[in-house]
Structures are given as structure tokens and as C-alpha cells.
């Protein structure tokens, strides 16, 4: 075990942040850590890092003293040095530089005659072993390779860190964490400043690394690719699930359904008992009625499942229906200082109800195009024409539609001054602004709160063409899901600039890619054009291109290495040996993961079946006249049966997934 939290409680003043949180990180795992903003995700990391101390419980930290080589990334980390990009990346490896310097001195001494050569040789061997243990021979090359994969050119390696942008500094700190974390990587929102090629590289690195990884992320597509376990923090409590994000969602839905069923059953039971008490409290059966009333007062009541609170409810009401064409771009291009960023689009029509995603690398002009359409800046060439009766709404990632002089209430009330206070309060409650929160100044809001208020302002105005620039930035997963549902249900047109592939996959029915000075449009979803969008052009099967040749099947088994050449075929043609099929490492990892899930599920089923058999023996021996104890035991039996049914469902799902993967 590399690290663990054991029954942790933590409060900040009167606010209880963590309640009985338990989490064990084992070798070879990749954890996705999820939860609402403020749920305690970063707090859990800070406990492991020793930056916070728990009020109760124990923490096993991944320290050097325990032999754990750990790397940690967070967005607020500051560079340690005032040196170059490469020097900052290698800052944690001062021992490597010291050992390398000592090796050079010892080599020089060994080349000189005289002296105690045996002592020098012994020291040289020890220093060399220490240097090899720290990967000294490869560490610089690895650092350069990681920096290149995260978007840095060779010429950037000697740039002073102080001259970098905020996003570039974050990528340097991420490279540094990856280089350090040879045993354990703790990464807090590592994907925020990555473009798609860098993100794809990070996915591949995590899938292939031998290090254990724990990642706080709201990127569901990313979590689906890399996670083997999910830790959910909800209302201060923790729950661990096996599998990636999609598998977590399936299990979470099953749990909610089970909780709802148990809740409904208990409510029906309580109603029956209360009805009996009302009818008999003053009659012949008053003793039994009082007993049942005492039992109800001690009953451990199941809370109502929080299904309705898992999503923020957005809605985009149209002020009026627009014409069939919402927007037309004619010979349009954008740029700066008179220079176009891409060849003008001859003509592009956005129709009512269409949802178009704009994709491309950072700096290609995606956000600039939205600004030009909204008339914040002029087009370099061409123009944009709004359709008949179109009302435009623009959500920019800096939330410029918010007035910093306002409170939350004033921001929304200013849109509809004639509205009653209760109407405004009810509207704000849909966006999770309740009670004293409506009096918070805009300047005091977090990034996620500003995004919610910005969206609320636009919704209050009512639009039928929406321009959305990175709408899910700074949002937690439930808010992202609500945003997706809202865009899908919006009857007007929407143009969305996003790096969120999950959002893109759910929402977009057409795509505009800006890449290498060209803007290209395609009908269809992200799944249909994934390689095109992700710029993985080598693997794309373009329309009209020749299909790959069908492999010829061989009637004979593959030749073993170093075996003699095969004899010629009867017609004299030399039979070519069949090349071994390349190893599918993704499949290997999936099979290993599902085999582990099947084994663990089988063990859990066997344990629960044994418990249930023992329970039934105990129940048969109980005195049924002790109604209170007997009733409590029955409730425990129902819970045990439900746990067994859920475990059987997990086992069947894992077995089915394993069989599908092995085909």
C-alpha cells in the first residue's frame, strides 16, 4: 500500500468537510477522484501530502522515508527556481547533478597514478549505483521528451520560466510532477491547460506507466480512458467504485434505484405503523401501540435519495421563434492586426436548432470567431448575418456580461427590473444561489459560481442563438451534465467552442475545425470524426481514400523464431512467413482489469451468501414474540439480500465484460 486515509474527519471551523473518509491506494491502480466543487477532493490530496492534519483518523503518507517516489501537480503550484524551463523540470533531481559531478571527479582521480585506487573504485561504484537508482543516465532525456509531449519546442527548454504564460507554467509543473512520480502521481486537474494532442499523450502515458496514479478531474472522457477505480466524495463522505467513469455512473444509478426502493419500503412501513398507532393508542391495544411508537422513535430512518440534487437545472427559453436560418457566414475570416488566422469560409449556414462545435488547437481563432460574430471585434474578411428574428446571446469564458459592482441578486434583477423579489430568488435557486449567497458580490465569486451566474444572466434575457465559449470550464460534473442536457433541449441554434470531448460527443451535430490556416466544416458527430477532430490524421480513413488491404489468412501456423525457412509452395512461389500479430496492450489491460473485477466479485458473493446462510439460522432461533428485535433483524436481512443482489449484478457485469474483451 502506497498511501491511505483511515476514518478521517476534518472540519474548517464550523464547516464539516470530511466525515469518516477511508481510501487506500495500492500499487498499479489508477484512481479518478470526483465530486462537486467544494466536496473535499483537493483536501484529500493535501492530507496525503501533509499540508493538512486530520481532526480524527490516521493518514499513511507517501513519503521518501517509506521509499515512495511521488510527483504532485496542482494548478496553484509555483516554480521553485528562477531558471530555465528544463532547469525547473529537473529541480527535484539535485542529487542527480551532485552525483554526476562526483562521478566526474572520481573518474579524474582514477586516471591519475598513485593514491588509494581501491578506495576510489569502491566510492565510484557506490556513487554509480546511486546515480543509476535515480535514473541519472536517462533523466534529462526523459525530461525533454515529456516537455515536448506537452507542447514545448526544443527552443523553449532554455527560456526563463518567469517569461512563460500561466498555462505554460502549469505545463512545466505537470512535466516536473510526471518526472518525479515514478511510484505515485497525485494530479489535481492536470488537463485544464492541455490541447488535444497533449491530452492524448497524457492519456497514453497514464495507461502505460508503471506508477500508481490518482487524478482529480472533471473531464469525463479522460476518466473513461484512464481510470481503473473511482473515488467519489459526496457530502463529506467517500465511496470507492471499480471501473472507469461510465461504469461508476451505471453502478451509481443502480445504487440510487436501490436506495429509492428501500426508502419507499420504509416509508410505507412507517405509514402503516403510524396508522396502527392512531387507531389503537387509546383502545384495547394501547400497549402494543405505545410499543410501536417507541420502535418508530428509535428506527434508523433512510434519508431520501439525492437524485434531484445531482444536477443543476438550466433552461434556455426562446423569446421568439427565429427563421429557419439562424446565422450565415460569408467569406468570413478573423485575425489580429489585419492578418487572417485562416482562409475565409466561403459560406456557412447555421440553421435553427443546429448545434455546431468549433474545435482546434489553442490560438487558432476559435474564440476570436465568436467575438466577431457577436460584434465585439470586426472580421478581417467577410461578414456574419443574423437570420430573421434572431436574438443573440454570448457566453465568454471571462464572463464579461457580469457587472463587478453588482451582487448576485442585483445582477439578475437588473435584467428584468419589473420582476418581483420572490421571482428573482426562485430563479437564482435553480442555479444554486440560495439564502445569503444572493447577496455575495460578483467579485467574491469563485470561477464556477461566476460561470453559473453568467449563464443565468443570459437565460434571463432569453435568446434563440447562443454562442458558448468553453461553457463547462470551472464546473463540476453534475453541472456539466446539466449544461449538456440544456443545450440538447434548447430549440434555438448553438455554437460551442470547447475542449471538453464528452460535451462535444453529446451535443454537437456538426463540426467546424480550424487547423493549419484552414476552417473546414463537416456534418456529423464527434464520434464520426474523432481522428479528424483530435488531429490524429495518420489514422483517419478519409472519404474517398483506398481502404486498407485485407490481411491474407495463412493455412499454416506462424513460424517460430529462428525456425528454418518454409519450403516453397507446390506452384513454386515462396510462402512468406506470417508476421506475428502486434500485442494489443489496451486489450491486455482491459482483460487484466476485468479478471480482477470477476475474482473480487466472486469473493464478495461467496462472503455474502455465507453471511445470509448464517443470518437465516440466527433468525430461525429468535423469539418472534420479541417484536422489536425480530423486526430489526428482518430489516437487516432485507439489506443483506439487497447487497447480495447487487454483488451478483456486479459479478454478471464483470463476467460479461471479460468475455466480450476476450473475443
For residue 272, count other CB atoms closer than 10 A to its CB: 11
The CATH number corresponding to 3-241 among 3.40.50.300, 3.40.109.10, 3.40.630.10, 3.90.400.10 equals 3.40.50.300
The candidate with the shortest Cα–Cα distance to 331, out of 291, 384, 286, is 384
Q: Using DSSP, how many helices (H) and how many strands (E) does the chain show?
A: 19, 20
Query: Is residue 519 within 8 Å of 372, Cβ to Cβ?
Result: no
Residues 6+ away with beta carbon under 8 Å from 292: 273, 276, 277
Query: Is residue 217 within 8 Å of 225, Cβ to Cβ?
Result: no
The candidate with the shortest Cα–Cα distance to 360, out of 181, 161, 517, is 517
156: pLDDT strictly greater than 70: yes
Mean pLDDT of the 601-628 span: 72
Q: How far apart are CA 360 and CA 168, in angstroms?
A: 18
The percentage of residues in the chain with a pLDDT greater than 90, rounded to a whole number, is 40
C-alpha cell at 550: 485485407
Residues 6+ away with beta carbon under 8 Å from 618: 633
8: pLDDT strictly greater than 70: yes
The candidate with the shortest Cα–Cα distance to 192, out of 500, 512, 452, 476, is 500
Q: How far apart are CA 181 and CA 212, in angstroms?
A: 9
pLDDT confidence of residue 186: 96
CA 625 to the chain's CA centroid: 53
Q: How far apart are CA 455 and CA 586, in angstroms?
A: 40
Per-range mean pLDDT, top range of 302-311, 511-520, 558-567: 511-520
Helices 286-298 and 245-280 cross at an angle (nearest 10°) of: 150
The candidate with the shortest Cα–Cα distance to 239, out of 226, 224, 225, 254, is 254
DSSP lists the bridge partners of residue 233 as: 35, 238
Q: How far apart are CA 357 and CA 497, in angstroms?
A: 6
Q: What is the pLDDT of residues 63-117, one digit of tens each?
A: 989 989 999 999 888 888 888 998 899 887 877 778 877 888 888 888 887 667 7
Q: Do domains 3-241 and 325-538 have the same CATH topology?
A: yes
Q: How far apart are CA 286 and CA 280, in angstroms?
A: 6
- pLDDT band for position 623 (cuts 50, 70, 90): low
pLDDT confidence of residue 638: 73
Q: How far apart are CA 21 and CA 379, in angstroms?
A: 54
The candidate with the shortest Cα–Cα distance to 404, out of 359, 363, 450, 442, is 442
Pairing of β 335-336 and β 339-340: antiparallel
Q: How far apart are CA 436 and CA 443, in angstroms?
A: 15
Q: How far apart are CA 113 and CA 101, in angstroms?
A: 21
Residues 6+ away with beta carbon under 8 Å from 301: 266, 270
330 phi and psi angles, rounded to 5 deg: -120, 115
- pLDDT band for position 561 (cuts 50, 70, 90): very low
pLDDT confidence of residue 474: 73
Per-range mean pLDDT, top range of 345-349, 451-455, 629-633: 345-349
**Annotated domain spans of the chain:** 3-241, 249-309, 325-538, 586-662
Least confident of 16-25, 536-545, 600-609: 536-545
C-alpha cell at 278: 392512531
pLDDT confidence of residue 308: 45
What single string gives the DSSP state of each residue in 114-183? SS-HHHHHHHHHHHHHHHHHTTTTTHHHHHHHHHHHTT--GGGTTSBGGGS-HHHHHHHHHHHHHHH-SS
Burial call 568-596: b when 16+ CB within 10 Å, e when fewer? eeeeeeeeeebeeeeeeeeeeebeebbee
- pLDDT band for position 417 (cuts 50, 70, 90): very high
Task: Write out 226-237 in H/E/C secondary structure.
Answer: HCCEEEEEECCE
Question: For cell 387507531, what's the residue?
Answer: 279
Q: What is the pLDDT of residues 302-350, one digit of tens each?
A: 877 765 444 555 555 556 777 889 999 999 999 988 899 999 988 999 9
Q: What is the pLDDT of residues 464-495, one digit of tens each?
A: 899 999 888 778 888 788 788 878 888 889 99
CATH class, 325-538 region = alpha beta
Amino acid at each position: 500500500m502506497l498511501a491511505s486515509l483511515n476514518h478521517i474527519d476534518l472540519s474548517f471551523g464550523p464547516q464539516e468537510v470530511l466525515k469518516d473518509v477511508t481510501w487506500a491506494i495500492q500499487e498499479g491502480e489508477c484512481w479518478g477522484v470526483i465530486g462537486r466543487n467544494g466536496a473535499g477532493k483537493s483536501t484529500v490530496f493535501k492530507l496525503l501530502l501533509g499540508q493538512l492534519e486530520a481532526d480524527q483518523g490516521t493518514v499513511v503518507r507517501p513519503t521518501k522515508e517509506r521509499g515512495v517516489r511521488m510527483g504532485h501537480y496542482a494548478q496553484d503550484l509555483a516554480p521553485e527556481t528562477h531558471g530555465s524551463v528544463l532547469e525547473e523540470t529537473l529541480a527535484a533531481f539535485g542529487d542527480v547533478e551532485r552525483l554526476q559531478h562526483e562521478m566526474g571527479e572520481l573518474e579524474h582521480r582514477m586516471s591519475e597514478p598513485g593514491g588509494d585506487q581501491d578506495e576510489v573504485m569502491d566510492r565510484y561504484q557506490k556513487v554509480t549505483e546511486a546515480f543509476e537508482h535515480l535514473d541519472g543516465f536517462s533523466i534529462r532525456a526523459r525530461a525533454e521528451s515529456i516537455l515536448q509531449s506537452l507542447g514545448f519546442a526544443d527552443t523553449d527548454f532554455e527560456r526563463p520560466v518567469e517569461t512563460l504564460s500561466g498555462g505554460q507554467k502549469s505545463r512545466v509543473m505537470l512535466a516536473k510532477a510526471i518526472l518525479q512520480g515514478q511510484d505515485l502521481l497525485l494530479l489535481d486537474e492536470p488537463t485544464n491547460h492541455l490541447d488535444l494532442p497533449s491530452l492524448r499523450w497524457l492519456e497514453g502515458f497514464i495507461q502505460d506507466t508503471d506508477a500508481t496514479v490518482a487524478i482529480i478531474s472533471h473531464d469525463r472522457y479522460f476518466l473513461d480512458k484512464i481510470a481503473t477505480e473511482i473515488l467519489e466524495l459526496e457530502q463529506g463522505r467517500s465511496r470507492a467504485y471499480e471501473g472507469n467513469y461510465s461504469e461508476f455512473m451505471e453502478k451509481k444509478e443502480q445504487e440510487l434505484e436501490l436506495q429509492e426502493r428501500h426508502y419507499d419500503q420504509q416509508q410505507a412501513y412507517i405509514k402503516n405503523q403510524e396508522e396502527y398507532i392512531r387507531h389503537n393508542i387509546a383502545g384495547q391495544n394501547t400497549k402494543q401501540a405505545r410499543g410501536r411508537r417507541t420502535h418508530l422513535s428509535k428506527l434508523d430512518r433512510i434519508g431520501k435519495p439525492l437524485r434531484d440534487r445531482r444536477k443543476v437545472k438550466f433552461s434556455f427559453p426562446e423569446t421568439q421563434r427565429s427563421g429557419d436560418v439562424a446565422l450565415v457566414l460569408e467569406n468570413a475570416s478573423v485575425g489580429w492586426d489585419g492578418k487572417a488566422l485562416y482562409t475565409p469560409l466561403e459560406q456557412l449556414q447555421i440553421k435553427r436548432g443546429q448545434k455546431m462545435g468549433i474545435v482546434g488547437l489553442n490560438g487558432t481563432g476559435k474564440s476570436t470567431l465568436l467575438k466577431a460574430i457577436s460584434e465585439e471585434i470586426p472580421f478581417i474578411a467577410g461578414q456574419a448575418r443574423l437570420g430573421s428574428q434572431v436574438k443573440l446571446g454570448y457566453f465568454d469564458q471571462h464572463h464579461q456580461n457580469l457587472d463587478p459592482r453588482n451582487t448576485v441578486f442585483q445582477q439578475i434583477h437588473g435584467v428584468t427590473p419589473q420582476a418581483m423579489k420572490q421571482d428573482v430568488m426562485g430563479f437564482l435557486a435553480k442555479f444554486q444561489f440560495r439564502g445569503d449567497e444572493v447577496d455575495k458580490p460578483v467579485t467574491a465569486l469563485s470561477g464556477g459560481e461566476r460561470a453559473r451566474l453568467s449563464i443565468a444572466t443570459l437565460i434571463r434575457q432569453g435568446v434563440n442563438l447562443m454562442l458558448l465559449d468553453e461553457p463547462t470550464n470551472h464546473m463540476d460534473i453534475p453541472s456539466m451534465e446539466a449544461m449538456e442536457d440544456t443545450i440538447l433541449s434548447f430549440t434555438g441554434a448553438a455554437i460551442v467552442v470547447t475542449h471538453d470531448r464528452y460535451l462535444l460527443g453529446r451535443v454537437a451535430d456538426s463540426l467546424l475545425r480550424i487547423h493549419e490556416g484552414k476552417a473546414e466544416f463537416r456534418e456529423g458527430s464527434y464520434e464520426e470524426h474523432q481522428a479528424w477532430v483530435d488531429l490524429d490524421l495518420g489514422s483517419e480513413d478519409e472519404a474517398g481514400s483506398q481502404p486498407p488491404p485485407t490481411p491474407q489468412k495463412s493455412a499454416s501456423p506462424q513460424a517460430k523464431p529462428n525456425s528454418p525457412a518454409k519450403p516453397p509452395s507446390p506452384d513454386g512461389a515462396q510462402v512468406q512467413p506470417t508476421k506475428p500479430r502486434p500485442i494489443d496492450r489496451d486489450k491486455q489491460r482491459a482483460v487484466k482489469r476485468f479478471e480482477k473485477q470477476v475474482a473480487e466479485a466472486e469473493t464478495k458473493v461467496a462472503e455474502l451468501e455465507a453471511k445470509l446462510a448464517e443470518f437465516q439460522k440466527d433468525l430461525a432461533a429468535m423469539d418472534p414474540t420479541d417484536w422489536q428485535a425480530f423486526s430489526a433483524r428482518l430489516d437487516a436481512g432485507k439489506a443483506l439480500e439487497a447487497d447480495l443482489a447487487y454483488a451478483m449484478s456486479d459479478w454478471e457485469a464483470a463476467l460479461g465484460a471479460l468475455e466480450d474483451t476476450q473475443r
